[in-house]
Amino acid sequence: MADSELPTRPKPEETGAPAAEGDSKSASKNAAKKAAKEKAKAEKAAARAAQEKAQAAAQEANDTAKHLYGKLPESDDVNPTTRFSDFTDEEKEVTVVARVDNARVQSAKLAFLMLRQQGQKIQAVIAAAEPISRQMIKFTGGLNVNSIVQVTGLIKKPEIPISSATIQHLEIHIRKVYMISEAAQMLPMQVKDAERPPPVETADDAPQVDSEGAPIVTLKTRLDNRVLDLQTETSQAITWISSGVAQLFSEYMIKSGSRWIFTPKLVGAATEGGSNVFEVKYFKRTGYLAQSPQLYKQMCIAGDMENVFEIAPVFRAEDSNTHRHLTEFAGLDFEKTFDHHYHEVLEFAEDLLVFILSQLKERYAAQIATIQKSYPKAGDFKLPKNGKALRLNYMDGVALLKEAGVDMSEQERFENDFSTAMEKQLGQIIRDKYDTDFYVLDKFPMAVRPFYTKADPSDARFSNSYDFFMRGEEIMSGAQRINDIAELEESMRSKGMDPTQEGFEDYLNAFRQGCPPHAGGGLGMNRIVMFFLGLPNVRLASLFPRDPQRLRP
Amino acid sequence: MADSELPTRPKPEETGAPAAEGDSKSASKNAAKKAAKEKAKAEKAAARAAQEKAQAAAQEANDTAKHLYGKLPESDDVNPTTRFSDFTDEEKEVTVVARVDNARVQSAKLAFLMLRQQGQKIQAVIAAAEPISRQMIKFTGGLNVNSIVQVTGLIKKPEIPISSATIQHLEIHIRKVYMISEAAQMLPMQVKDAERPPPVETADDAPQVDSEGAPIVTLKTRLDNRVLDLQTETSQAITWISSGVAQLFSEYMIKSGSRWIFTPKLVGAATEGGSNVFEVKYFKRTGYLAQSPQLYKQMCIAGDMENVFEIAPVFRAEDSNTHRHLTEFAGLDFEKTFDHHYHEVLEFAEDLLVFILSQLKERYAAQIATIQKSYPKAGDFKLPKNGKALRLNYMDGVALLKEAGVDMSEQERFENDFSTAMEKQLGQIIRDKYDTDFYVLDKFPMAVRPFYTKADPSDARFSNSYDFFMRGEEIMSGAQRINDIAELEESMRSKGMDPTQEGFEDYLNAFRQGCPPHAGGGLGMNRIVMFFLGLPNVRLASLFPRDPQRLRP
């Protein structure tokens, strides 16, 4: 089925909605002729329908299997259903609830279903033999794809493995099949077509079918029909990885004695750069959506909370239409006091990432293997063998790039950051040299960091700040923060900001009232998932992605 | 210190900011006279400052303790600091980092500090004896309240317990005291004054001091200065309970095999009632803030995710200025498929709440005890003794109220819900009769539930929906959802909604493509904290609360 097909809607007479009104200006001399033709057609259709109904009634009277299929009967039968994953080789009767991935009538006496549960597929077969009737076979083989059915049957070993199924060494011999939720006959795309990865090329004149004649489903079509797309085995696995990243982050933070915080997303001022912030109508005022919990998590530290973390949406009104930008993403933030040196917090964060990434490999090996079938290109994610993160200084990165022929001028080194291309190249250099896809760069130039960043006390051109990288792309930015009010106000002025401007008073007061030294960082959950799995687009790592063009579904 | 005092700001000459410009029109004949007077005053002040400086220099030359106090020296001394909670009775030297809760010079040879760590207080004493100098005693006793200091000293048992401290049987004999972060001399409120609960009455003419002459700090002042307010022992304990609720919710959900989801907060249409939704400027379009993840978590179920949960902000543009309404709060949402009956999900949710509430009691007993010192009125939260939630039907609630003399008319029973006052009264009746503060009402009238709610198949006046209550106030609403497209569209029309209206197509298509039966619910985290602890206001259970009036800090 092509991408452009729209989902079928119920006809007006089915929904009770008024039929669309005809265009009153288009009365034509052909109208009468047309009407007569239509009438004849309708009569013919009615006659055919009546005949079919009569045949059906006659058949039903003879149907030995009437009670074994059709609409799910109301009953007190509350036998538990079994999941595919719990099937064993033992030949026994089971009841399953599953999607119809495919339905096919082989003959009047034989039909096949491919059943699907969270992307896992198993074959079910129905053959005419007392009490199973031909009518029941026709019903089963004619089920609309994607409908949800309850099937009772016998698990058996097939004579030859079912190569198109996920569970190849078992099949279900159907005894009962009931409809739980019927899907429309026409779907905007087939789940099985979305199992193949989307083409990189998405131009309007891109091919519609692949070399084997199978429809090519573009990323846009998938995302427009995300509910169907989520049903694929690959999407099921990706959403498990996302869930895992959030779970592992919270696990590590809670174990460290951190407190889970919920800071406001509705804020009174655009304190982190005015242009990339979403404006909200807040009763009779203007509010904004927080671009990060930065100022608030620091205020929690000033409020003596010592070690805090947050898992919450982050909003960026940035008009970036790239493979790795979203306007809303899940932020994993933390902030922590330290005793003597910000490297105490940096090491904590490095261990956090090593924990998350290594535990993902351990706990989600099956999901990772599934995803690699569709996206094999990037290969296994490499972690440092000694279990500790590789940490280099920014200037080490500059030197590594120089060795590879990419030289930054003196000015570029201190006033710019690496370009995206440079970052990727550096990622490759580091992979080749240190055999890791995860690493940390410390001591970024002060000029490229936000006003609240602590300058390096030994060289003010640099700062006590760090970025974390996966496969050469940034997933976290963090730093020691200035905790002295005079230093903070001075830093604002040096960045051209006015400390007395509206919206900063509460933040600055937190430092006037005393604040301990602290550092922290903010991770992008979707990017961690994307780069860990080597997905070509961050939208594949978001349930319902948001970008400048997309605000639905 | 009174509430109305503002935090001190650095003077313009300290910050380098330009002084405010004078009003050019106000030149007066007194200007010359005034200038002369100011000049004389300035000269006098300069002379005094010079004298003080000379004295200080002379004293410093004789100061035997110069290296033992003042600004924290840069050094390689990275001895770990100790927390108050790790103190033992053993007499030994420790280094601590803490707030100055109070500082007092007793005599030229003796000063006291009250030190504070996350609300916990211990006394520190400094007495003149080699090498400690009078200057060091003056410095210590003169420290600004709320400053953060590093103190090294000997832990000893005091002769009599320190009644004003939290740790009464120990004190620190100071050997070194260094400033880490100095607080301004004037604070908008004192943390110790915020330790007492806010008055219920907050009128402008309310008294400023209590019967013992201590300042009364209103809820408004506390929230305006939330960073200071968070430093109280009570706030520290409340924020731990909030953290605990989120942690326990995620623990239970993950254990049940649920997937953690992140659904978009930026949405294209106001699908859940137009008037209470915040409007967002989304590039060149209008977007909205999600009022709940309802439609999206259902779409995840239609996407075969089977069991999902979310922890995320919920936005309500409701102009309600009550003790229990916020415009932004933390929502704990879940949605789950079931096999035969929605009570499978209802029981799951009941067990979830029993788990959260009983584990709070077990894991946070110390915090609960602390909070009860400030808010004793509500008493211990009562849970059912048998570990299972009490479940009644809505009509049972109607009957219990009738017994107590509150009779609803036939029409009211089916078209209204209980009023807040009725709910509270019912809570009291149920507490008296069943000895529990937590209970569930099932089978609410269909007329008071949203369009996606499944009607009770045996009596269409009712619905398969439930509310959870704590101390007679609602903390969760949930239901079985309609999973059949025709039934869903019919329900929309019966509620006066148009299924073809913009913004519903993606949601409705999810059902056209087949969707399993499911149920779920949404909890308000802040309300759980508020009612569990018996707090008088939900704002006390939010880090930085948002209401129609409040968008800061």
Predicted confidence band at A500 (pLDDT cuts at 50, 70, 90)? very high
Phi-psi region of B495 (alpha: psi -120 to 50; beta: other; left: phi over 0): alpha
Q: Indicate the residue of B227, B261, B280 with minimum beta-carbon distance to A543.
A: B261
Q: Cβ–Cβ of B296/A544 closer than 8 Å? A: yes
The two tokens of residue B89 are: 């009775």
Close Cβ partners of A515 (under 8 Å, ≥ 6 residues apart): A298, A301, A302, A483, B148, B181
Q: Indicate the residue of B242, B312, B484 with minimum beta-carbon distance to A312.
A: B312
Please, what's the b/e burial string for B56-86 (b: 16 or more CB within 10 A of its CB; e: otherwise)? eeeeeeebebeebbbebeeeeeeeebbebee
* pLDDT 10s digits, B161-185: 999 999 999 999 999 999 999 999 9
Predicted confidence band at A218 (pLDDT cuts at 50, 70, 90)? very high
* pLDDT 10s digits, A165-181: 999 999 999 999 999 99
State the nearest Cα–Cα gap between B241 and chain A, in angstroms.
Answer: 9
Q: How many helical (H) and strand (E) elements, i.e. helices and strands, does chain B have? A: 16, 17
State percent of chain A over pLDDT 70: 90
Looking at the DSSP bridge assignments, the partners of residue B71 are: B179
Beta-strand runs (E) in B90-245: 93-107, 110-117, 120-127, 148-156, 171-181
Contact between B238 and B540 under an 8 Å Cβ cutoff? The reply is yes
Close Cβ partners of A3 (under 8 Å, ≥ 6 residues apart): A188, A189, A208, A215, A216, A217, A218, A221
Please, what's the b/e burial string for A120-157 (b: 16 or more CB within 10 A of its CB; e: otherwise)? bbbbbbbebeeebbbbbbebbbebbbbbbbbbbbebee
For residue A182, the SS3 value is coil
Q: List the one residue out of A183, A196, A190, A182 whose CA is nearest residue A235.
A: A196
Residue A541 DSSP one-character state? G
The two tokens of residue B257 are: 């095999």
Q: List the one residue out of A143, A190, A98 whose CA is nearest residue B516.
A: A98
Q: Which of A543, A547, A549, A550 to mutate to test the interface with B (most CBs of B within 10 A)?
A: A543
Asked if residue A339 has pLDDT above 60, the reply is yes
Q: Looking at chain B, how many residues does it have?
A: 553
Contact between A126 and A175 under an 8 Å Cβ cutoff? The reply is no
CA pair distance B197, B535, nearest whole angstrom: 10
Helix (H) or strand (E) holding A481: strand A473-481
For residue A125, the SS3 value is strand
CA pair distance A539, B529, nearest whole angstrom: 36
Q: Cβ–Cβ of A10/B489 closer than 8 Å? A: yes
Predicted confidence band at B19 (pLDDT cuts at 50, 70, 90)? very low
Looking at the DSSP bridge assignments, the partners of residue A287 are: A280
Q: What is the mean pLDDT of residues A135-163?
A: 95
Whether the CB of A214 is below 8 Å from some CB of chain B: the reply is no
- Chain A residues near residue B6 by CB distance under 8 angstroms: none
Contact between B309 and B334 under an 8 Å Cβ cutoff? The reply is yes
Residue B21 DSSP one-character state? P
Q: Indicate the residue of A306, A490, A514 with minimum beta-carbon distance to B182.
A: A514
| CA dist B122 → B96, B119, B371 (Å) | 11, 10, 19
- Chain B residues near residue A117 by CB distance under 8 angstroms: 304
* pLDDT 10s digits, B414-441: 988 899 999 999 999 999 999 999 999 9
pLDDT of residue B453: 97
- Chain A residues near residue B81 by CB distance under 8 angstroms: 339
Q: What is the mean pLDDT of residues B143-162?
A: 96
Residue A115: phi and psi, rounded to 5, are -100, 145
Amino acid at site B541: A
Q: Cβ–Cβ of A260/B242 closer than 8 Å? A: yes
Residue B128: phi and psi, rounded to 5, are -70, 120
| DSSP secondary structure of B364-423 | -HHHHHHHHHH--TT-SPP--TTSS-EEEEHHHHHHHHHHTT----HHHHHH----HHHH
Close Cβ partners of B24 (under 8 Å, ≥ 6 residues apart): none
Determine how β-strand B390-393 pairs with β-strand B438-442.
Answer: parallel
CA pair distance B479, B334, nearest whole angstrom: 11
Contact between A127 and A109 under an 8 Å Cβ cutoff? The reply is yes
For residue B223, the SS3 value is helix
Predicted confidence band at B274 (pLDDT cuts at 50, 70, 90)? low
Tokens 């001394």 locate to: B77
Predicted confidence band at A203 (pLDDT cuts at 50, 70, 90)? low
CA pair distance B35, A280, nearest whole angstrom: 49
pLDDT of residue A37: 73
Close Cβ partners of A390 (under 8 Å, ≥ 6 residues apart): A384, A430, A434, A436, A438, A439, A440
Helix (H) or strand (E) holding A358: helix A343-363
Whether the CB of A94 is below 8 Å from some CB of chain B: the reply is no
Asked if residue A2 has pLDDT above 60, the reply is no
pLDDT of residue A32: 59
Q: Indicate the residue of A182, A296, A507 with minimum beta-carbon distance to B514.
A: A182
CA pair distance A445, B203, nearest whole angstrom: 52
Average pLDDT, whole number, for chain B? 89
CA pair distance B401, A24, nearest whole angstrom: 61
* pLDDT 10s digits, A362-420: 999 999 999 999 999 889 999 999 999 999 999 999 999 999 999 999 888 998 889 99
Q: Indicate the residue of A243, A283, A330 with minimum beta-carbon distance to B259.
A: A243
* pLDDT 10s digits, B369-418: 999 999 998 899 999 999 999 999 999 999 999 999 999 998 889 988 89
Determine how β-strand B285-289 pairs with β-strand B266-267.
Answer: antiparallel
| CA dist B9 → A123, A497, A498, B203 (Å) | 74, 17, 14, 28
Contact between B288 and B308 under an 8 Å Cβ cutoff? The reply is no
Asked if residue A204 has pLDDT above 90, the reply is no
Amino acid at site A203: A
Whether the CB of B319 is below 8 Å from some CB of chain A: the reply is yes
Q: List the one residue out of B85, B76, B83 whose CA is nearest residue B97.
A: B83
| Pick from A71-75, B42-46, B91-95, B486-490: least confident | B42-46
pLDDT of residue B27: 44
Q: Is A518 a catalytic residue?
A: no
Close Cβ partners of A384 (under 8 Å, ≥ 6 residues apart): A354, A390, A434, A435, A436, A438
- Chain B residues near residue A525 by CB distance under 8 angstroms: 262
CA pair distance B94, A292, nearest whole angstrom: 38
pTM of the predicted protein model: 0.89
Contact between B1 and B187 under an 8 Å Cβ cutoff? The reply is yes
Q: List the one residue out of A544, A281, A552 whose CA is nearest residue B281.
A: A281
Residue A443 DSSP one-character state? -
Number of inter-chain CB pairs under 8 A, A vs B: 288
CA pair distance A333, A520, nearest whole angstrom: 8
Q: Cβ–Cβ of B280/A278 closer than 8 Å? A: yes
Determine how β-strand A120-127 pairs with β-strand A110-117.
Answer: antiparallel
Q: List the one residue out of A330, B215, A121 whose CA is nearest residue A112.
A: A121
* pLDDT 10s digits, A13-26: 333 333 333 333 44
Q: Which of A149, A512, A518, A523 to mutate to test the interface with B (most CBs of B within 10 A)?
A: A512
